[in-house]
């Protein structure tokens, strides 16, 4: 047992910019029933970590706070009721706190067995964003052959995966990006056309669609673009709203929805992934698509965990297109 053992972790004791992050020794978590203790090999960095560091999200407990909710590693210790998991097993997770540390306590229900042919870094960079793209294209709006799909922020982590899954399901895809450099990343992901955000992008998107009627569905993670997304989809089209990276959306008049027969639906991953069985099903589908080549990940940017502040600065700069990974 690892009681009273110290570990290194990336922590912060006050809210603020990347400079508040420090790498220090703190007590290692103790094994608990229904859990495994995992020696971390890789952790994924997500914008939610930035919001937590800034104080935008409520955090339970007292400082020092540890960021990170996604990662992969090797079981160090397993509780007696750990559902067959044992020391030495490779596992990954996408919704367990305190991943930015040498050891993480993972509930069995959230532990995803990691096949030997999937690298730790790949799992840490895939699961959270991959499951998001999975439920968006399977549950929020089931993309099918012949659909025309608009993907906002198409060069981002979720955006690139949305492009690939929509193409995999037979759709034509239009990506929206904020710079020429990001346009190339969206094209590489498989978008049929990529537009830069402008005052006229909704009209350009409509012109791109067959017959000029508008796309079938728009996946909007920007928020401030919501009404333009409605303008870009056809009568009886759908807008899936799942993020506010560009600011709060405008209020939607239900009469507009009635007059145009358009649908607005929201998306949150944790309303969809609610059981271990569902989590494993989605993860194993993503792993299978990686194997058969229908899903590809851009090479991640890798930072040692002690340099986590630099990783946060890169993410906040919005200059990165692929995933950022932290290695303990």
Radius of gyration in angstroms for the set of CA atoms belonging to the chain, rounded to a whole number: 21
**pLDDT given for residue 271 in this prediction:** 93
| pLDDT tens digits for range 23-46 | 999 999 999 999 999 999 999 999
**pLDDT given for residue 51 in this prediction:** 87
Q: Identify the CATH homologous superfamily for domain 145-266.
A: NAD(P)-binding Rossmann-like Domain (3.40.50.720)
**pLDDT given for residue 4 in this prediction:** 62
Domain coordinates in residue numbering, the chain = 6-126+274-327, 145-266
**pLDDT given for residue 3 in this prediction:** 54
**pLDDT given for residue 177 in this prediction:** 96
Domain 6-126+274-327 has CATH 3.90.180.10: yes
Taking 70 as the pLDDT cut, the residues of the chain under it are 1-4
Q: Of 109, 113, 104, 42, which is closest to residue 71 (Cα–Cα)?
A: 42
**pLDDT given for residue 72 in this prediction:** 98
| pLDDT tens digits for range 265-290 | 999 999 999 999 999 999 999 999 99
Host H or E run for residue 26:
strand 22-27
**pLDDT given for residue 298 in this prediction:** 84
């Amino acid at each position: 047992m690892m009681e009273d053992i110290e570990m290194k972790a990336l922590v912060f004791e006050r809210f603020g910019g990347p400079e508040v992050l420090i790498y220090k020794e703190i007590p290692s978590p103790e094994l608990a029933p229904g859990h495994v203790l995992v020696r971390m090999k890789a952790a994924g960095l997500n914008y939610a970590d930035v919001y937590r560091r800034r104080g935008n999200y409520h955090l339970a407990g007292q400082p020092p706070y540890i960021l990170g909710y996604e990662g992969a590693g090797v079981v160090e210790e397993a509780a007696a009721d750990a559902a067959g998991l044992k020391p030495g097993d490779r596992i990954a997770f996408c919704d367990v706190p305190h991943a930015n540390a040498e050891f993480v306590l993972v509930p069995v229900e959230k532990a995803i067995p990691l096949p030997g042919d999937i690298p730790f870094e790949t799992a840490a960079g895939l699961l959270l964003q991959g499951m998001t793209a999975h439920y968006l294209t399977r549950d929020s709006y089931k993309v099918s052959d012949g659909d025309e799909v608009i993907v906002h922020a198409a060069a981002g982590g979720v955006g690139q995966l949305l492009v690939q899954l929509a193409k995999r399901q037979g759709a034509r895809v239009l990506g929206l990006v904020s710079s020429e450099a990001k346009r190339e990343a969206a094209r590489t992901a498989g978008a049929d056309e990529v537009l830069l955000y402008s005052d006229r992008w909704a009209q350009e998107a409509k012109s791109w669609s067959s017959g000029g009627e508008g796309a079938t569905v728009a996946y909007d993670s920007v928020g401030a673009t919501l009404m333009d997304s409605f303008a870009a989809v056809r009568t009886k089209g759908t807008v899936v709203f799942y993020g506010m990276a560009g600011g709060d959306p405008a209020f939607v008049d239900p009469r507009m929805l009635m007059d145009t027969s358009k649908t607005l639906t929201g998306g949150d991953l944790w309303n969809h992934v609610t059981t271990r069985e569902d989590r494993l099903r989605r993860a194993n589908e993503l792993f299978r698509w990686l194997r058969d080549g229908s899903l590809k990940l851009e090479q991640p940017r890798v930072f040692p965990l002690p340099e986590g502040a630099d990783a946060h600065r890169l993410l906040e700069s919005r200059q990165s297109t692929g995933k950022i990974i932290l290695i303990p």
